[in-house]
Structure formats: structure tokens, C-alpha cells
A and B are shown apart, each in its own frame.
Chain A
């Protein structure tokens, strides 16, 4: 199970969504699918048409910048970050 860490900007948008969640999925895209199945609408908050990860959302798999097709193994740590923006 991958250890997925979500940003503080995301969790208040979905009832019951924790900061850390274990997900069994082979790619980043599949992780997001799994989360979206449990919290409908979550995919739209992280991805835009393409599909691609939103411009100001960064995803890292085991500390390396990742894309939707980046593979994940069962011990991976996945960090979803709200990148520097706003003001």
C-alpha cells in the first residue's frame, strides 16, 4: 500500500478525507482514481483536462517529481503538494 500524503488545502473540501491515506494502485493516476471513487469530485481538484496534474499541484513519488503515469510500488510514499501560489 502506498503512503499518500495530501495537502491541507484539499482535505477540507471532502468530508472525512484524511491528510494521510493508504492506497493500493500501480500509478499516480490510479491513486487519484481510487481517491475519487471514495471522495467523488476529488480528481477535478487535482487534475485538469488532458488529463494532466493541475499547474500548481505537484506530486512526488519517493521524493521525485511525478506525473500521472509514474509507477508506484507498494512501499512508495506519494506527496501531493499545493505549490507556491496565492498571496
Chain B
């Protein structure tokens, strides 16, 4: 019988939650990774768990478990810029596809491993791209200091998107050798030096049902692309705020998508202390608040950009983790929610996989 595995990255290590296909009862384990701050944890097609973590004492590394958390190793071999060059201060985001494990870092760059995380080499720092002349300047680093804040894979391992925090999204079709900014049609409420970049892309999600359909939560607005990121249309109308980080796409329906709007000021928690996940089933023409099972008073919950995930069951489940350590899950396509964990450290990421 298949198992559903949640991989939860927190400020104090990685945790796992495991259930069966019904996804009603969950067993929690952890903390793993010796309590290192985990910025993003994922599970690949083979069921191997990877966690990008950065210890204040011992630096950055990618942790790995091949046995669902029973044993862990870590490596940072090759995970550094050449001597005298840029400084690698944090590993912030991971992707795994077709034997290629990639980690995005700050200062912005992507390292790749072809041996399951044993060794790493610099794949790209997007040198020469518009915006790159300023993003290594510490004075220009946005809060969070994530550098590369997202890597979104496609069906082709050589084609993927990279998000540079506070700058925008870029696409490569040749494995990271060349890049093209993919921000046309996005909104920015601030002056920009370049036509193609200067946008604050928080989260980019690609539909499994239609590879040309992308959604993104931006600092200013929700946006949709129907042409693989070549152009974007804003779909914010109907949402309580234009701001948020986390998002997830339905695995079987290209028009269904979930987002968690947050107050855009300093608070960055769910509006009015009422927890809700917002769903569209018509590609953003209308939105519905999904609140059943979520706290509706005094619930000032934040969710970060890697803090939401969806599984691939026939009736899909969705999961999100909060900055106050709760994990909520839905096993009915987002209609109702239950608390899976209530007292974890601040959560930075949630990933899910169905394992045999």
C-alpha cells in the first residue's frame, strides 16, 4: 500500500510526517539534520530526501537520507565559489529531476550534483544577465538573503526556471548555459533599471496537467502564464490581498490552483487572523476561500514560499506549514483541512511524495 510522505523543513531541523493513501492519520518523526536551519527540503523520484541547510556555526550543506529519515549524511564538497570570488552564505532552494540535483544559493548561483549529492559543482551564476551587475552587492540584498529563491523544473531536465530574489524569473533551455528573463507582463510598483527584470517573484508553480500553464505569486499580485512563462496576466482580482508566498497547482486540472494571501506589510500573516487557503478552479477568473478546519480567530499564521505542496493522488491533497510551527493538510482537494502537527519549529518548507 502506498505511503504519503511529508518532508518538513524548519528552523530547527527537518521533520517527516507519514500516512497512508487516506491521509487522515499521520505519524511524525524528527528532528533530523542535527537541528540545522533547513531552508528547503525535498524528496526525489526515488524517495531520497534532501535538505538544504545552513548552520550558523558549520556553514552550508545538503543533507541526504535514502531510508526515510533513518540515517542521514551531509556534503558540501564543491559547494563553494572559487577562491577570491563570490561568497556562498546560504543554500536556499533545491530541485531534483532525472538524476540532476540542483541547489540555489546566496550570493545568487546554482550548483549541481550528478551523484546524488555526494559532490557539487557550480552550474551557473547567471553571469551577464540583466540585474546581475547589482545582485551581489550586499547593500542590494533583500530580506531573507535567499539569492536563488526558487528552481522550477520542467519535463526536460535541461529546461528549468530560476528565480533571483527581488530581480525576477529566468529560463534556461540548455541546462544552465544561457538564460532568458521571463517576466513580461508582470507588475512592479517601483522604478526599474531594466526592461526585463526588477520584479519580485515570490513563487513560480508549473501545472503538471499542462506544462505551458504557470502560476506565480508575486510581491504585487497573482499572475498566470499560458505560454510557458513568455508572458504573464494578472489574476489578483477576488483575492483579499495581492501579497503572499506559498502556492500549489492541482496535479490533474490545469485551471485549479491554490494560494495563501498574506497581509503585505510587516506582519505578513493571514488577513484578520483568519486562516484560509484560496482556490481558483477557472484559472484565476474567480477565487474561493477554503476555511473548513482552519482556525478562524486569532490565527496570525505566515507561510513562506516553499511552505506549501500538493500530492498527486486522484483526489489530491495539499499541505502547508506555518511560521509558528503548524502543519495543516487537506485530503479532499482543499475543501477541508486538519492539523497534522501543531508545535514544530518555524517552518520554511513542505514537500510531499507518494512512495510505494
Contacts and interface: CB of A to CB of B under 8 A. Distances in A.
Say if A and B assemble together. yes
Contacts of A22: none
Given A44-B76, A44-B77, A49-B83, A12 B57 contact: no
A45 interface: yes
Which among B34, B57, B83 has the greatest number of chain A C-beta atoms within 10 A?
A: B57
Interface in A46-87: 46, 48-50, 54, 56-57, 82-83, 85-86
**Range of interface residues on B (Cβ < 8 Å):** 10 to 19
Interface in B142-175: none
B353 interface: no
Interface string B53-80: 0011111010000000000001111001
B57 A83 contact: yes
A9 B80 contact: no
A66 to B, nearest CB: 17
B58 A85 contact: no
Contacts of B77: 41, 44
A10 B58 contact: yes
A9 B58 contact: yes
A25 to B, nearest CB: 21
B26 interface: no
B59 A45 contact: yes
Tell me which of B55, B83, B87 has the highest count of chain A C-beta atoms within 10 A of its own C-beta: B55
Contacts of B57: 7, 9, 54, 56-57, 82-83, 85-86
A13 B34 contact: yes
A86 B76 contact: no
B10 to A, nearest CB: 14
Interface residues of A, number: 19
Contacts of A49: 80-81, 83, 87
Contacts of B74: 13, 41
A7 B56 CA distance: 14
A51 to B, nearest CB: 9
A71 B80 CA distance: 28
Contacts of B61: 44
Given A41-B74, A49-B83, A86-B57, 5 more contacts: A44-B59, A49-B80, A49-B81, A56-B57, A83-B57
Which 8 residue pairs of A and B lie closest in terms of their CB atoms, listed nearest first? A45-B58, A85-B56, A82-B57, A44-B76, A56-B57, A12-B34, A56-B56, A49-B83
Interface of A: 7, 9-10, 12-13, 41, 44-46, 48-50, 54, 56-57, 82-83, 85-86
20 contacts: A7-B57, A9-B34, A9-B57, A41-B77, A44-B58, A44-B59, A44-B61, A44-B76, A44-B77, A45-B59, A46-B58, A49-B81, A50-B83, A54-B58, A54-B59, A56-B56, A56-B57, A57-B57, A82-B57, A86-B56
